[in-house]
Structure 1
Amino acid sequence: MSDKKIKAVDFFCSGGGMSCGMQQAGIEIIAGIDHDISCKETYEANIKGATFIHKDVFKLEEEYLENTLKLNKNDDNLLLIGCSPCQFWSIINTDKKKSKESKDLLKEFRRFVEYFNPGYVVVENVPGVLRKKRASGLESFIKWLKLNGYKVHFNVHEVSEYGVPQYRKRFTLIANRITEVEIVPIALNSKKVTVRDVLGTHNGFPEVLHGNKDTSEFLHTVARLEEINLKRLAITPKDGGDRLGYVFDKELAPACHYGKLDGFRDIYGRMWWDRPSPTITTKFYSMSNGRFVHPEEDRAISLREGAVLQSFPKNYKFKGTSVAGIARMIGNAVPPKYASAIGHAIIQNHKNAV
């Protein structure tokens, strides 16, 4: 058992963040599944050797997957990964109607776990799925796993503890029926990686102006700013400055912020050089959606900078037709270095199995 390589199927794979990290750890990715055809080209360009399956999981049949990928039931070397879109359970999203369908994706993923009974199962999601564990189906899923011989770890982890240069809390479940060990992601136990460690001219990111369009695969592309936002940034202190720099300026302060020293201060704010970045969302290219301004330059971070803060390799190829579309793929991704920490822990467990 332990001398065989673990192979994985990545449900809800999107642009391949989880698959990338698992491959880095040494796990063979045999397939990625997603209903969004726009991520196909990105996934196939980076996750070599894997088959991209364009299917809606609600309509995907267990037998189809079994036959297409030649999977075996009760395979100790099989890992099923389910990182379902999580908008319904997120505290960030306020429009629950648009994301209602995503609330049952975990229950759909469970069908395949029950059918194949793999050696390992990984689920990654927003912390809200744990706070609402009964409604999300998580509670009954964990109960089923335990009743069927799995040792289950589930908790909320901070990805900056695993080499990701970003503060981001994520729910993670790792289930294992190979040993009696509770598998947890392997933390680095070292200094956190900061914005300075990965961005800046010293890391190969040339200074650019807002509106820069990079047609190369490096994608150092930056959103264009309106004149009022350029004025705001001109007086926003470098390295962590925020809207307090103009909070009493009637021309520059948004009406809802004028004269207010308390409340949410990240919007229009700069990142700090010597801290991990804030959570990279799908709107990280816009300075009005969070603390997404470069620590020094008067612009929001670029697409490639957002990807690097998510811990994607610099040469990862993102394919898309719009800034918003590529940013959504990046912001929704599982940070590869965090995925790798999960993968290393599973491989270590597999090697120790008798």
Structure 2
Amino acid sequence: MTKLPKLKAVDFFCSGGGMSFGMQEAGIKILAGIDFDISCKETYESNITGADFIHADVFDLSEDYLTQRLSLKKNDDELVLIGCSPCQFWSIIQTDKSKSSKSKNLLKEFRRFVEHLNPGYVVVENVPGVLRKKRASGLSGFVRLLKANGYKVHFDVHEVSEYGVPQHRRRFTLIANRVTPIEVAPIPLSGNKVTVRDVLGEHNGFPKVPQGHKDDTPFLHRVAGLEKINLERLAMTPKDGGTRLAYVDNEELAPKCHKGKKDSFKDIYGRMWWDRPAPTITTKFFSLSNGRFGHPEEDRAISLREGAILQSFPIDYVFKTNSIANTARMIGNAVPPKYATAIGKAIIENHYNAV
């Protein structure tokens, strides 16, 4: 029996390893993760088997150095290059873009390594705004390059709840395949979508805890504290999907900027629904004032571990960080691992059908 080749990948902008872990679960060997944030190193290495964490700014990383360090070969059909760069600059969320302006060129930097190595497969995952700004983000030129080099290119915006992630989240995804003439796309799951009830609650191992609950164990069922007024607001918010509209006209409880306003910012201070996928898990998911991040039943925001579960990290995924904010940022910025697995399985299926 012919031994099947082992696909292997290098994950640029790897952060805490969401994409790497999902690809690893699919059956792809992760050679290395690259990130300029050294605080990701412990988390990445604790979860990604045998991978090398390379602490580097991609702007300063040379193609020859990476090739030599990882013993990579050019034109390797079994190599996957992954580039899921930080995406705040291209997000539709109206925030100050000055801090993230450097990130707008990360796709162009990733392109250098694709040109140099000409791997069998290329994967890019980002916010839908990259597709809306194809020329400015460098996407148009990147796709032209790939097609000119013989890649069959799939790129589209996908809803991750179609792939087993218990969360609504729309993500731009590009998969380029040089091994076969087939357009490779993530493989969706059949059946019902995974909901909050399917993964959270006491029946899933999450004991009831109050706001401000401390948990320094690896389980990290840790919850941000709430001011008295936010506790009162949440107490008035109906269970299972309730919103701030419950107190929108209350002189004492309604925030001044929202008082009497019933048609905007409905998710702020809201509760999740039990029987729907969660809303998009952002880097601020631990805060009630930043979205519909209230527990469906308990008077608190969701915990760090609950946020990770809604991102589809396994319950025993290890996070090595030093604060609620840093952990939440790593979780919220991650590629949902189950979505990454859907991408990895599509690549594997294509590759082994070609062998």
State the TM-score, normalizing by the size of structure 1: 0.99
Give how far 1:181 is off: 0.5
CA distances 1:35-94 after superposition (whole Å, capped 9, x unpaired): 000100000010011000000000000011011000000000000000000010001251
Give how far 1:143 is off: 0.4
CA distance, structure 2, for counterparts of residue 48 and residue 279 of structure 1: 28
- Kept in 2: contact 1:7–1:29 (CA 8 A): yes
Where 1:280 maps in the other structure, the secondary structure is coil
CA distance, structure 1, for counterparts of residue 114 and residue 262 of structure 2: 50
CA distance, structure 2, for counterparts of residue 267 and residue 286 of structure 1: 9
1:214 corresponds to: 215
Q: Bigger CA drift: 34-43 or 251-260?
A: 251-260
CA distance, structure 2, for counterparts of residue 3 and residue 220 of structure 1: 41
1:95 corresponds to: 96
- Which runs of no fewer than 5 residues in structure 1 stay unpaired? none
Percent identity, please. 75
Give how far 1:2 is off: 8.6
1:260 aligns with 2:300: no
1:241 corresponds to: 242
1:13 corresponds to: 14
Where 1:297 maps in the other structure, the secondary structure is coil
Where 2:54 maps in the other structure, the secondary structure is strand
Where 1:63 maps in the other structure, the secondary structure is helix
- Kept in 2: contact 1:2–1:352 (CA 8 A): no
1:305 corresponds to: 306
CA, structure 1 residues 253+232, in 2 after alignment: closer, same or farther (shift >3 Å)? same
CA distance, structure 2, for counterparts of residue 307 and residue 259 of structure 1: 34
Counterpart of 1:341, as a letter, is: A
**Alignment RMSD (CA, Å):** 0.9
Give how far 1:139 is off: 0.3
1:77 corresponds to: 78
Give how far 1:275 is off: 0.3
Counterpart of 1:213, as a letter, is: K
Q: Bigger CA drift: 89-98 or 340-349?
A: 89-98
Give how far 1:124 is off: 0.2
Where 2:221 maps in the other structure, the secondary structure is coil
1:279 aligns with 2:280: yes
- Which runs of no fewer than 5 residues in structure 2 stay unpaired? none
Give how far 1:174 is off: 0.1
CA distance, structure 2, for counterparts of residue 214 and residue 19 of structure 1: 27
| Structure 1 moving runs of 4+ over 3 Å | none
CA distances 1:109-128 after superposition (whole Å, capped 9, x unpaired): 00000000000000000000
Give how far 1:256 is off: 1.4
1:117 corresponds to: 118
Give how far 1:271 is off: 0.1
- Kept in 2: contact 1:247–1:261 (CA 8 A): yes
CA distance, structure 2, for counterparts of residue 214 and residue 341 of structure 1: 32
CA distance, structure 1, for counterparts of residue 132 and residue 322 of structure 2: 36
CA distance, structure 2, for counterparts of residue 2 and residue 336 of structure 1: 27
CA distances 1:289-327 after superposition (whole Å, capped 9, x unpaired): 000000000000000000000000000000111100000
1:63 corresponds to: 64
Give how far 1:131 is off: 0.2
CA distance, structure 1, for counterparts of residue 191 and residue 10 of structure 2: 31
CA distance, structure 2, for counterparts of residue 260 and residue 133 of structure 1: 36
Within 5 Å, which residues of 2 pair with 1:307-326? 307-326=308-327
